[in-house]
Amino acid sequence: MNEEQRLEMSKVRTGESVDKKSSQDKPLSEKTTEDFAHYFQTTYQPPDIRKARKRYREDIEVHYDFSIPEQMKTFGVGKKFLIRTYGCQMNEHDSETMAGILMEMGYEATTVDEEADLIILNTCAIRENAENRVFGEIGHLKALKIENPELIIAVAGCMSQQETVVNRILEKHQQVDLIFGTHNIHRLPQLIQEAMFSKAQVVEVWSKEGDIYENLPKARQGRIKAWVNIMYGCDKFCTYCIVPMTRGKERSRRPEDIIQEVRHLAAQGYKEITLLGQNVNSYGKDFEDIDYLFGDLLNDMHKIDIPRVRFMTPHPRDFDDRAIEALAKGGNLLDHIHLPVQSGSNEILRRMNRKYTRESYLELVRKIREAIPNVTLTTDIIVGFPNETEEQFEETMSLVEEVGFESAYTFIYSPREGTPAAAMEDNVSMEVKKERLQRLNELVNKQAAESMKQYEGKVVKVLVEGESKRDPNVLSGYTEKNKVVNFKGPKSVIGQIVDVKITDAKTWSLDGEIVTNTAEVKEDGKIHS
């Protein structure tokens, strides 16, 4: 995917008090990486595929006993928080959990930096530019902290899980009061308290990765679509990817907890849920007491009265027949599958440790198409992986054509410190990588435009999400296949699924007209489908 499309779709716990810094006697400016390494001594695991295989599953504990400590229950009254989220849907959803906890403490949300008493940067580590943006933002916040010394600045998310990042913040960014990891969100109340009363920067990054916290409060953004975690972590260890280190080992939520959450969302009137996980179709493989996999979960979702169920992200290697059979039932299980391929070259796929070949990916696509003839496939692709040859890149181009992806998120490979690929020799210049990305984007755009063209004159079902960002007189929503549709219609249809006739197809969006004759317009002016 390119910018145009993006725009369109718009531990060891370090101990009790985490005030370790003050317990050391050297001034901060003289400290070295070793001085900070204790924060991670028994927890930080440099990426290592051999070690990954030794991740123990029996450790998984599910906690149902979250509560805000008595002394923190009204701590946020009269105060405001702002959470800035970077990166993926997992982070978006974690931010909803942080917001939920803060609101239970009495905090109110704000979008204005100057009004905030607490600013949390929920960070992403997937590529270098994501990290650079966060460091830029940390720099900007310095002035605000000088103006308002009471302001608490926190850094959370995937960047916090990396030792080098934490060290850099501790050494160079004294304005940051609190750093906490992706496994410490449930400790937010205690951490805020520590940050407030400690004179030193507070760091809590656990790598105790086996736990699941069930009853954390959530302040969801919007009342139409909701994220639902089904599993956490990733054990795939693709050689370019930092996620298995920042998100820990794979662990699945119990089916009954997921089903209850989705039923509750349906009862609240949500129209669409997205089942979330780094590797959703590994779901259930860690259960020792039950035989219940991703396909079984999809079957149970199929029975729930919620109009739309999506999932992201599946791994081609784990896409089994049970899941395909479930998806083939249709109903609320939508016929759009985002299936990251990363490369079309077997040699690159092998060096990426993707555990499938071009041929097996194509065979999976064939099976999916056979079971779900109308399926739309989209993907993720990395160009410029170390030593990628022109021929290997062209194999990616030909695969994109062969599968007929309707859209793709495309990335230039970004070396992530500590991952196996970062140590690989790379003879491809940035200029060549950029040129390959451009060629790939041209092909993806062409296929996207062609796939959109076929909708002209057709009627599609649109879940109306709100006003278009560009024009408040225009409504915007998504089709079942996740295409953006802009159309004129009454605001009363926001939150509903309506029929829209497509009049004009653009590369990344469709324009249309609401079809009122399929809906009954009642006296209240509302359209009832």
Residue closer to ligand 5AD, measured from CB, 281 or 486: 281
Q: What residues contact 350, with CB distance under 8 A and at least 6 apart? A: none
Angle, helix 321-328 to helix 358-371, in steps of 10 degrees: 30
Residue type, 12: V
Between residue 335 and residue 354, which ones bind ligand 5AD under the rule CB under 6 A? Answer: 340, 342
Work out which of 137, 171, 380, 467 binds ligand 5AD, going by CB under 6 A: 380
User: Could you please report the per-residue DSSP string of 399-413?
Assistant: HHHHHT-SEEEEEE-
Exposed (0-12), middle (13-18) or buried (19+): which is 34, by Cβ within 10 Å?
A: exposed
- Residue 89 as a binder of ligand 5AD (CB under 6 A): the answer is no
Q: Which does 414 bind (CB under 5 to 8 A by kind): ligand 5AD, ligand SF4, none?
A: ligand 5AD
Give the interface segment with ligand 5AD, choosing from 52-60, 64-72, 361-369, 411-419 (CB under 6 A): 411-419
Work out which of 416, 433, 461, 483 binds ligand 5AD, going by CB under 6 A: 416
Q: What residues contact 384, with CB distance under 8 A and at least 6 apart? A: 412, 413, 428, 430, 432, 433, 436, 437
Q: What residues contact 289, with CB distance under 8 A and at least 6 apart? A: none
Smallest separation, CB 87 to ligand 5AD (Å): 9
CA–CA–CA angle 138, 144, 147 (5° rounding)? 150
- Residue 14 as a binder of ligand 5AD (CB under 6 A): the answer is no
Interface contacts to ligand SF4, rule CB under 6 A = 234, 236-238, 241, 243-244, 278-279, 315
Residues 492-502 as b/e (b if ≥16 CB within 10 A, e otherwise) read: ebbbbbbbbbb
Structure tokens at 157: 């998310």
Residue closer to ligand 5AD, measured from CB, 86 or 413: 413
- Residue 92 as a binder of ligand 5AD (CB under 6 A): the answer is no
Give the span between the Cα atoms of 447 and 452, in whole angstroms: 9
User: Could you please report the per-residue DSSP string of 305-367?
Assistant: S-SEEEEE---GGG--HHHHHHHHT-TTB-SEEE---B-S-HHHHHHTT----HHHHHHHHHH
Which residues are 500's β-sheet partners?
460, 514
Between residue 157 and residue 186, which ones bind ligand 5AD under the rule CB under 6 A? Answer: none
Give the interface segment with ligand 5AD, choosing from 61-69, 76-84, 257-265, 407-415 (CB under 6 A): 407-415
Residue closer to ligand SF4, measured from CB, 180 or 237: 237
Work out which of 361, 411, 455, 478 binds ligand 5AD, going by CB under 6 A: 411
Q: What residues contact 136, with CB distance under 8 A and at least 6 apart? A: none
Give the interface segment with ligand 5AD, choosing from 100-108, 290-298, 346-354, 413-421 (CB under 6 A): 413-421
Q: Which does 413 bind (CB under 5 to 8 A by kind): ligand 5AD, ligand SF4, none?
A: ligand 5AD
Q: Name which of 177, 168, 158 is nearest 117 in CA terms.
A: 177
Q: Which does 236 bind (CB under 5 to 8 A by kind): ligand 5AD, ligand SF4, none?
A: ligand SF4
Residue closer to ligand 5AD, measured from CB, 410 or 507: 410
Residue closer to ligand SF4, measured from CB, 21 or 127: 127
Smallest separation, CB 243 to ligand SF4 (Å): 4
Residue closer to ligand 5AD, measured from CB, 227 or 411: 411
Give the span between the Cα atoms of 368 and 463, in whole angstroms: 25
Give the span between the Cα atoms of 409 and 312, in whole angstroms: 13
CB distance 161 to 182 below 8 Å: yes
CA 419 vs. chain centroid, Å, equals: 20
Residue closer to ligand SF4, measured from CB, 165 or 475: 165
Smallest separation, CB 383 to ligand 5AD (Å): 9
Between residue 240 and residue 259, which ones bind ligand 5AD under the rule CB under 6 A? Answer: 240-241
Residue closer to ligand SF4, measured from CB, 163 or 235: 235
Between residue 109 and residue 138, which ones bind ligand 5AD under the rule CB under 6 A? Answer: 126-127
Structure tokens at 277: 């996980």
Q: Write out the H or E segment, with its range, that includes residue 463.
A: strand 459-467
Residue closer to ligand 5AD, measured from CB, 90 or 494: 90
Give the interface segment with ligand 5AD, choosing from 248-256, 412-420, 442-450, 509-517 (CB under 6 A): 412-420
Overall size of the chain counted in residues: 529
Q: Which does 108 bind (CB under 5 to 8 A by kind): ligand SF4, ligand 5AD, none?
A: none
Smallest separation, CB 324 to ligand 5AD (Å): 21
Give all strands of the β-sheet with 272-276 in edge-to-edge order.
Answer: 225-229, 272-276, 308-312
Q: Which does 234 bind (CB under 5 to 8 A by kind): ligand SF4, ligand 5AD, none?
A: ligand SF4
Alpha-helical regions (H) of 173-281: 188-197, 243-247, 255-267
Contact residues toward ligand 5AD (CB under 6 A) are 126-127, 240-241, 340, 342, 380, 382, 411, 413-414, 416
